[in-house]
Structure 1
């Protein structure tokens, strides 16, 4: 669960975020979900790459040994910020909306989803 499981959970939660957004604007969920998901999914993937690189930090210690995708810090925060910033940047260059109100809503929901589940697991495992 420390490696692949959290990545799958993150993908699922970003898909849920995108589906909720489409539904709240009365847009067809299935028809446009990929168009809404790809910028955030790409930002999510980038966040995971950065998180693994940060975990690898010290020479001689492999990222696979040190990396914990369930950690709130730094993994969860890096994944959240990368998903948000990368997602918004890719939406902007692809002609999708990036209104300030949307950025605020996205930041809040993505933090709740991507950091929140990690915090809940941490509390429940203790």
Structure 2
């Protein structure tokens, strides 16, 4: 069951919040202040927005594919390109960790939402 089209703002907010959490957790893991997470997060936040526009996520915000996958990959690719263009780090280890964590976050909650909807329908 897909989310109601009127519920898309909640999915957009969730994507943005999860990316901000990713940045804060990463900064904390490297013993940097999580309060400076916006510096780390902004390229990925732009990537989320690009993904939303590209896939027209508003139509099916809860869909794992193509919506979730496009947003996830856009977040990663655009985020890394912007980090590279602005002189921020793009070490292979960071690319791999961010790809995994962002995938878990951006696809994970959509999968959980889908499973909950499925369980409710099959009671």
- Normalized against structure 1, the TM-score is what? 0.86
For residue 3 of structure 1, report the CA deviation from its aligned partner. 1.2
In structure 1, runs of 5+ residues without a counterpart are 56-63
- RMSD across aligned C-alpha pairs, in angstroms? 1.2
Q: Find the residue that maps to 2:7 and give its secondary structure.
A: coil
- Normalized against structure 2, the TM-score is what? 0.88
Separation (CA, whole Å) in 1 of partners of 2:103 and 2:95 = 12
Separation (CA, whole Å) in 1 of partners of 2:19 and 2:86 = 19
In structure 2, runs of 5+ residues without a counterpart are 1-5, 119-123
- Match of residue 39 from structure 1: 43
For residue 2 of structure 1, report the CA deviation from its aligned partner. 3.3
Q: How many residues align?
A: 113
Separation (CA, whole Å) in 1 of partners of 2:49 and 2:73 = 12
Written as runs of structure 1 = structure 2, the 5 A alignment for 1:1-126 is 2-30=7-35, 32-52=36-56, 67-126=59-118
Separation (CA, whole Å) in 2 of partners of 1:120 and 1:90 = 30
Separation (CA, whole Å) in 2 of partners of 1:116 and 1:34 = 23
